[in-house]
Structure 1
Amino acid sequence: MTPDIALILTVDGLANGAIYLLAGLGLVLIFSVTRVVFVPFGDIAAFTALTLAAFQMQRVPGTIGLVAVLAAVASLMELGAAVRRRSADGLAQRLFGYGLLPLIPCGLAWLIAARDVPEIVRIPVALGLALPMGPLLDRIAFRPIADASVLVLLIVAIALHFAIAGLGLLFFGPEGFRTTALVDGIFELPGGLVITGQLILMMASAVLLAVLFFLFFERSLIGKALRATAVNRTGARLVGIRPERTGVTAYLIASALAGISGILIGPSTTIYYDSGFLIGLKAFVGAIIGGLVSYPVTALGALFVGVMESFASFFSSAMKEVVVFSLLIPVLLWRSLALAHGGDEEHEELDG
């Protein structure tokens, strides 16, 4: 391998790592606030890319039907919960949030689907369709078992992924699609390295969003509330922070990160209805490197995963997945030794 090839592989790996970085941040955010390893994160990214592809082909995206179904199920669950409580307090607000509000981007998507509108309109609408997916999945699958152990939540998350993938096949079909590049142009850097504008956009977006992520948690009240809930849910509740509300906020932010990841990765690879699983799993490797708690280490781990994947694909494209996922073994061994078997915290009383 020549130095030029190594440099090209590194740049390509950093671009892929930028996507895993955004996904890893979303996974850590949700886990730290809700203790859920949100396996369907990658599915939201893939569905967003497929949504934009449908817009570019002037077709009605299957995301409209998917979001509508999730909104209907969540609304029925809220009605059932009100009947069991024999109280309608707050029901109208919940039905608006879970039933009516998600249909607004669905209506916008229906209006622009068959029209030749600019990308600056299509992208926000595609992201708007991605935003309610996280909170709706939380309400349907995780809210009823919020006090369960991390293992049970993980099993439910895996089962939810397969259910969502099945719905993805129903609404999107088996065909794969690739979106057009958001940025045209090819740039030659010093040393003869050629890089596309799309790769620059992917890396710049990851850096910008990571900085905004840091500022959000350090400067905003909502970010501080999320941090407080992540540190101590019971203590946060005692000072007036509602874990349920912070959980919804975490899922909204993670859905936004997933949507942006899908928009960025769409032009680089063909996306299928089930492509999200590998995206989420590789981001999970980076999140595990960060211990599912450290955002900076997760970011570095995600970039490392991207670079390792790029070099592994150069030597053997058939073995690249094996190489990437094999990273979990030494990482888990290292974290196990570092924790020194400090005990199981899964049975802590989280909600008082």
Structure 2
Amino acid sequence: MDFTIAAFLMQDGLTSGAVYALLGLALVLVFSVTRVIFIPQGEFVAYGAMTLSLLDTGRFPPTAILLMVFGAAAFLLDLWEYRGRYNAAALLRSAAINLALPGAIYALALVLAPLQAGPLVKALLTVLIIAPMGMYVYRIAFRPLADVPVLVLLIVSVGLHLAMMGLGLVFFGAEGLRAQPLSNGVYMLGFLPVTAQSLWIYGITIAIIVGLYVFFEHTLLGKALRATAINRLGARLVGVRTQLTGVTAFVLAATIGAVSGILIGPITTIYYDTGFIIGLKGFVAAIIGGLASFPVTAVAAIGVGIIEAFTSFYASAYKEIIVFSLIIPVLIWLSITTAVHEDD
């Protein structure tokens, strides 16, 4: 291997690592606030990439229909919760959030999809479709189980992953889709060509990391999420609405997943089950960060991307095995150094 090849591999690793960093940060965020190891995070990536791909061809994205299904299920759960104690204000609020909001997004997608709007409009519409799914997933699957042990939440998370992957097959089919880049163009950095899509990936990743820092450090809701992550019961006792923080964490995770799909969709073909592998690589970074540290997770994700790029050159058949085996020494180290093991 010469320096030129190494530079190309390093660039590929940084590009992939930036996407893995977003997924790792989303996983750490959800786990810190809700104790959920969110296996379906990759499904939001696949949904986002495939939704953008369909919008690029002027077709109506079926994820808008899926969003309405999720909203209707959440509304039915609210009706069941309010049985025997009529609360008009709560029912109206539930109908607005769970029925009117998905309906409005569905209508907007119906209007905009055939118009072949610009790439940024299609990207924003994709985020608008995918982001509320996090809220409905939390309401349907996790809010009723907020106080159960972590193992139960993990089992539910695996079941939800299988369900969402199956829904992806139903709505998108088995064929792969590839989106158009947000902008075309290639820039030369010395001898190294850098695509405009790669610059979008680097820029948006940095912007999201900075945005999360500002959100957690300088907003009341962000501080509420931090309090919930540190001590859920203590946060409740001082008046933090842990249901709101849970919803916020899942909406942020879905938004990050949608953005990741928009960024990675133009550089690789996405299938209905591709999100699982991508999400697992973000999970490797989150585990290296102890499912607690955002900076360590981001750095680890870049490292995962670089290792993946170089192993694909030297031993492509064992690329996935090498990447996923990175968590083994970390888990061994954590098992040695952690004195107390908690089940809840």
The interval holding the TM-score normalised by the smaller chain is: over 0.9
Unaligned segments of structure 2, at least 5 residues: none
The 8 Å contact of residues 312 and 319 in structure 2, kept in 1 or not, is answered as yes
Shift, 1:94, TM fit = 2.3
Shift, 1:70, TM fit = 0.9
- Corresponding residue for residue 6 of structure 2: 6
The one-letter amino acid paired with 2:336 is: L
CA distances 1:227-265 after superposition (whole Å, capped 9, x unpaired): 011101111112211000111111111111111101000
- Corresponding residue for residue 293 of structure 2: 294
Is 151-160 or 96-105 further displaced after alignment? Answer: 96-105
CA distances 1:86-143 after superposition (whole Å, capped 9, x unpaired): 3436232123222322332222111111222222221111100011111111111111
- Corresponding residue for residue 350 of structure 1: none
**Percentage of identical aligned residues:** 48
Determine if the alignment matches structure 1 residue 274 to structure 2 residue 268: no
The 8 Å contact of residues 22 and 261 in structure 1, kept in 2 or not, is answered as yes
Shift, 1:274, TM fit = 1.2
Written as runs of structure 1 = structure 2, the 5 A alignment for 1:23-102 is 23-83=23-83, 86-88=85-87, 90-102=90-102
The one-letter amino acid paired with 2:72 is: A
Q: Distance in 2 between matches of 1:179 and 1:155?
A: 33
Say which SS state the counterpart of residue 210 (structure 1) adopts: helix
Shift, 1:346, TM fit = 2.7
CA distances 1:145-196 after superposition (whole Å, capped 9, x unpaired): 1111111111110111110111111111111111111121111113x12221
- Corresponding residue for residue 150 of structure 2: 150
Runs of 4+ in 1 over 4 A off after TM superposition: none
Q: Distance in 2 between matches of 1:51 and 1:344?
A: 41
- Corresponding residue for residue 135 of structure 1: 135
Q: Distance in 1 between matches of 2:229 and 2:19?
A: 24
Let me know the Cα RMSD of the aligned residues.
1.3
Say which SS state the counterpart of residue 156 (structure 1) adopts: helix
CA distances 1:29-57 after superposition (whole Å, capped 9, x unpaired): 11000000111111011101111111111
Written as runs of structure 1 = structure 2, the 5 A alignment for 1:196-215 is 196-215=195-214
Say which SS state the counterpart of residue 187 (structure 1) adopts: strand
CA distances 1:273-320 after superposition (whole Å, capped 9, x unpaired): 111101111100000011101000010111111111111111232211
Say which SS state the counterpart of residue 266 (structure 2) adopts: coil
CA distances 1:60-79 after superposition (whole Å, capped 9, x unpaired): 11101211111111111111
- Corresponding residue for residue 342 of structure 2: 345
The one-letter amino acid paired with 2:343 is: E
CA distances 1:310-349 after superposition (whole Å, capped 9, x unpaired): 111112322111111011111111122221xx223334xx
Shift, 1:20, TM fit = 0.6
**Structure with the larger helix share:** 2
The 8 Å contact of residues 65 and 171 in structure 1, kept in 2 or not, is answered as no
The one-letter amino acid paired with 2:223 is: K
The one-letter amino acid paired with 1:240 is: G
CA distances 1:183-222 after superposition (whole Å, capped 9, x unpaired): 21111113x1222111122112111211111111111111
- Corresponding residue for residue 319 of structure 1: 318
Q: Distance in 1 between matches of 2:316 and 2:78?
A: 47
Is 153-162 or 198-207 further displaced after alignment? Answer: 198-207
The 8 Å contact of residues 78 and 95 in structure 1, kept in 2 or not, is answered as no
Say which SS state the counterpart of residue 195 (structure 1) adopts: strand
Q: Distance in 2 between matches of 1:321 and 1:299?
A: 19
The 8 Å contact of residues 57 and 116 in structure 2, kept in 1 or not, is answered as no
Written as runs of structure 1 = structure 2, the 5 A alignment for 1:101-120 is 101-120=101-120
The one-letter amino acid paired with 2:244 is: R
Q: Could you state the TM-score of these two structures normalised by the residue count of structure 2?
A: 0.96
Q: Distance in 2 between matches of 1:145 and 1:120?
A: 38
Determine if the alignment matches structure 1 residue 162 to structure 2 residue 162: yes
Q: Distance in 2 between matches of 1:78 and 1:137?
A: 14
Written as runs of structure 1 = structure 2, the 5 A alignment for 1:158-197 is 158-190=158-190, 192-197=191-196
Q: Distance in 2 between matches of 1:6 and 1:323?
A: 19
Q: Distance in 2 between matches of 1:137 and 1:39?
A: 12
